[in-house]
A and B are shown apart, each in its own frame.
Chain A
Amino acid sequence: MPEIILSIRNLKTYFYTYAGVVRALEGIDLDVYKGETIGLVGETGCGKSVTSLSIMRLVPDPPGRIVGGEIIFKGEDLLQKSEEEMRAIRGSQITMVFQDPMTFINPVLTVGEQVSEVITLHQDLAREAVQTKIDEIQEKIARIDPSSPDRQVLMERIKELEAIKEHPPKPSKGEVKKAALHRTIDVLKLVQLPNPEDVVRQYPHELSGGMRQRVIIAMALSCSPDLLIADEPTTSLDVTIQAQILALLSELKKKIGSSVLIITHDMGIVAETCDRVGVMYAGNIVEISETKALFKKPLHPYTQGLLRAIPKLHEDVKDLEIIPGSVPNLIHPPSGCRFHPRCPFRMEICDKEFPPMVETTPGHSVACYLYPEKKH
């Protein structure tokens, strides 16, 4: 069994508005294993994004508040952490890529300033600073005449620096800045931005949507996080650019070994990128399974309906099946199973009590009364 890196238990997040209490998350359970890509899929307002904000402890308060549950990250409950401790975790151990890159990037800072800020905040750059100096001297050596006496002096200097590299002294502010910029260019190269040396001097508005999203991914991955949360990372991009970004994400994930939580409404993205997937409806996870099993045999009536409602590119469908009605209002959610007013298999018990999560086959769980709990 792979190691569990993040474990959410009975998480409840409510929003207190003038119209009433919005029960955005009503007891979510979710495990994220080390190195896996897990998807959370659902329609607008089902609580996907609130889940990710809750993990980061970024739910706007007021009106939002996490009212119960636990979020265990590497053995510690994130909900018990102080704001200062959270700040050390955000951006280094758990990072996030948002839907719209422009709202996340600061428009008045250059790309270089922003990415290197993350790096300076979360990394010890002392060794990097020494390395930067060595690189600089080596460049100088390459430029000067090989017979010149200066060359010998510079070689000596490199040797000195190599010696202190293992236990470097505290670098000055200027040295840190230089080293961070150096690192930034490396990270931008990693996300395959063309001409990273020029991009660091540019402002976000000079970049295209796809390039901005690459910068955000660079920021998110610059500190090799344990968990990357990608909240609709490609929704604002065109399909050909989306294909680029998804390919990049899965390639970098392999390189760095982070776990990735992808939040999306697109079943296609789930099918192509995720190992496991959780389906959300109106503030609950209603089904969770390995991706292949879910698409092969969806159990929850909502998942079944959702999969049949998508127009398919690779097969012919005459008429799309529809889920009648629309997503319920979370101020007055339906009683019992929140899907029961739209469910074709509704039974008497469905509006009484929320169905418990039942594991039907190993790794495939569903919250629906159609699947009775096995008697032990």
Chain B
Amino acid sequence: MHFPIRGGVFGRAVGYVYAVDGVDFAVQAGETMGLVGESGCGKTTVGRCILRLTEPTDGDVIFEGKNIMDLKPNEMTKTRAKMQIVFQDPYASLNPRWTIKDIVGESLLLNKIASGETLRRKVLDLLTLVGLSEDHMNRFPHEFSGGQRQRIGVARALASTPDFVVLDEPTSSLDVSVQAQTLNLLKTLQANLKLTYLFISHNLSVIKHVSDRIAVMYLGKIAEVGPRDELFKKQLHPYTQALFMAIPIPDPTYHRRRVVLKGDVPSPANPPTGCRFHPRCPIAIEKCSKEEPELIEYGSSGHMAACHLAGQQI
């Protein structure tokens, strides 16, 4: 996904922001794929591209055997019933002038699944599913707390009985005690409804708690991807290693080696040549600034990394 930077009188594209640049990964049915990275690395753009909420510049998204990039708008609407998204900000993603019943019931109406009394009953079922009750139905979003709003967002996403749900930082605006409630709810729903999740977050501890497999992104590229336990045992990419070391651990008796990365994340409008991480990488060699490393599998469990020096400790 390349976003044009417009400038000049005629708004010509003077450059491109390479928000997501050649990302490949697969999500298996029934699993939770965790997508982790720092702000501006393109996590959210990946999530939005999958649902074609932003049209990718190039590439394919294959969903249940069909390439959704080839679908016509009306076919896309139908497919979107099967793939849903829960947005990050529960304050901005709910229409303040709609009641909860309108919000949750919208996709049921649009997809002609229910109307009238059946709609009411279905909405009630959905609200019960996420732990809300009947008297919440005719209220407006501003009457709810952040955690409750996020539950409404989840209920809305589940209304059209999707198979696949993109969760875009569903808990990052919530307090820890409420975050725990939401994470547990998402886990229960997944087990009961056989859902597949793409869980996007910047919080590695949360990603670890929910994911089966984890992909680490840096500046529009996937740096490393692998099964959760494998990835936590050994990080192949230097960026992943540094990311793991940077997370503060809530245990004052826990000691570990820590390498603090120097510098800032570069701008995706003008990414570094070669490996995009090389200006901040403590073990970079000359090759890193010239050749872009490819995502290669190490071992047989699907643990992949894009690094010339994969496996070396920083």
Which one of B38, B180, B187, B264 contacts A239 once the chains associate, using CB atoms below 8 Å?
A: B38
Which one of B148, B177, B244, B252 contacts A322 once the chains associate, using CB atoms below 8 Å?
A: B177
* A310-337 vs B, Cβ < 8 Å mask (1 yes, 0 no): 1111100101111100110000000000
Q: Is the CB of A313 within 8 A of B249?
A: yes
Q: Is the CB of A271 within 8 A of B175?
A: no
Q: Is the CB of A326 within 8 A of B246?
A: no
In angstroms, how far is the closest chain A Cβ from the Cβ of B306? Answer: 18
Q: Is the CB of B265 within 8 A of A238?
A: yes
* A266-298 vs B, Cβ < 8 Å mask (1 yes, 0 no): 111111110000000000000000011001100
B136 at interface (Cβ–Cβ under 8 A)? no
- Give Cα A241 to B266, complex, Å: 13
B273 at interface (Cβ–Cβ under 8 A)? no
Q: Is the CB of B177 within 8 A of A240?
A: no
B202 at interface (Cβ–Cβ under 8 A)? yes
Determine the residue in chain B with the shortest Cβ distance to A241: B264
B148, B246, B251: residue with the most chain A Cβ atoms closer than 10 Å: B251
In angstroms, how far is the closest chain A Cβ from the Cβ of B217? Answer: 12
- Give Cα A128 to B103, complex, Å: 65
Stretch at the interface among B57-65, B83-91, B205-213: B205-213
- Give Cα A296 to B249, complex, Å: 14
Question: Taking A43-B177, A244-B260, A322-B180 as contacts, is the C-beta distance between A307 and B250 under 8 angstroms?
Answer: yes
Residues 233-265 (chain B) with a chain A CB within 8 angstroms: 242-254, 258, 260-262, 264-265
A266, A271, A313, A319: residue with the most chain B Cβ atoms closer than 10 Å: A313
Q: Is the CB of A272 within 8 A of B176?
A: no
- Give Cα A292 to B254, complex, Å: 11
In angstroms, how far is the closest chain B Cβ from the Cβ of A237? Answer: 9
A72 at interface (Cβ–Cβ under 8 A)? no
Residue tally, chain B, CB below 8 Å to A: 41
In angstroms, how far is the closest chain A Cβ from the Cβ of B162? Answer: 24
A151 at interface (Cβ–Cβ under 8 A)? no
Which one of A240, A242, A321, A322 contacts B242 once the chains associate, using CB atoms below 8 Å?
A: A240
* Residues in B whose Cβ lies below 8 Å from that of A291: 252
Question: Taking A309-B179, A320-B184, A323-B177 as contacts, is the C-beta distance between A238 and B202 under 8 angstroms?
Answer: yes
- Give Cα A295 to B294, complex, Å: 43
Q: Is the CB of A266 within 8 A of B248?
A: yes
- Give Cα A43 to B183, complex, Å: 17
A306 at interface (Cβ–Cβ under 8 A)? yes
Q: Is the CB of B38 within 8 A of A310?
A: no
Q: Is the CB of A238 within 8 A of B39?
A: yes
Determine the residue in chain B with the shortest Cβ distance to A313: B205
A246 at interface (Cβ–Cβ under 8 A)? yes
- Give Cα A65 to B260, complex, Å: 42
Determine the residue in chain A with the shortest Cβ distance to B36: A239
Q: Is the CB of B249 within 8 A of A314?
A: yes
- Give Cα A261 to B39, complex, Å: 27
- Give Cα A253 to B56, complex, Å: 48
A257 at interface (Cβ–Cβ under 8 A)? no
Q: Is the CB of B38 within 8 A of A238?
A: yes
B147 at interface (Cβ–Cβ under 8 A)? yes
- Give Cα A273 to B258, complex, Å: 14
* Residues in A whose Cβ lies below 8 Å from that of B179: 309
Q: Is the CB of A326 within 8 A of B145?
A: yes
Q: Is the CB of B264 within 8 A of A210?
A: yes
Question: Taking A208-B264, A322-B184 as contacts, is the C-beta distance between A306 and B253 under 8 angstroms?
Answer: no
B178 at interface (Cβ–Cβ under 8 A)? yes
A-B contact pairs, 25 of them (CB 8 A): A208-B264, A210-B264, A238-B38, A239-B38, A239-B204, A240-B242, A240-B260, A241-B264, A244-B262, A266-B248, A266-B250, A268-B248, A271-B248, A272-B249, A291-B252, A292-B252, A292-B253, A306-B177, A309-B179, A310-B180, A311-B180, A311-B183, A312-B209, A326-B145, A326-B148
6 closest cross-chain pairs (CB), A and B:
A268-B248, A311-B209, A267-B250, A309-B180, A238-B38, A243-B246
| With A238-B202, A313-B247, A326-B177 already in contact, 4 other A-B pairs whose C-beta atoms are closer than 8 Å | A44-B175, A267-B176, A310-B205, A311-B208
Q: Which B positions have Cβ atoms within 8 angstroms of A?
A: 38-39, 145, 147-148, 175-181, 183-184, 187, 202-206, 208-209, 242-254, 258, 260-262, 264-265
Q: Which A positions have Cβ atoms within 8 angstroms of B?
A: 43-44, 208, 210-211, 238-244, 246-247, 265-273, 291-292, 295-296, 305-307, 309-314, 317, 319-323, 326-327
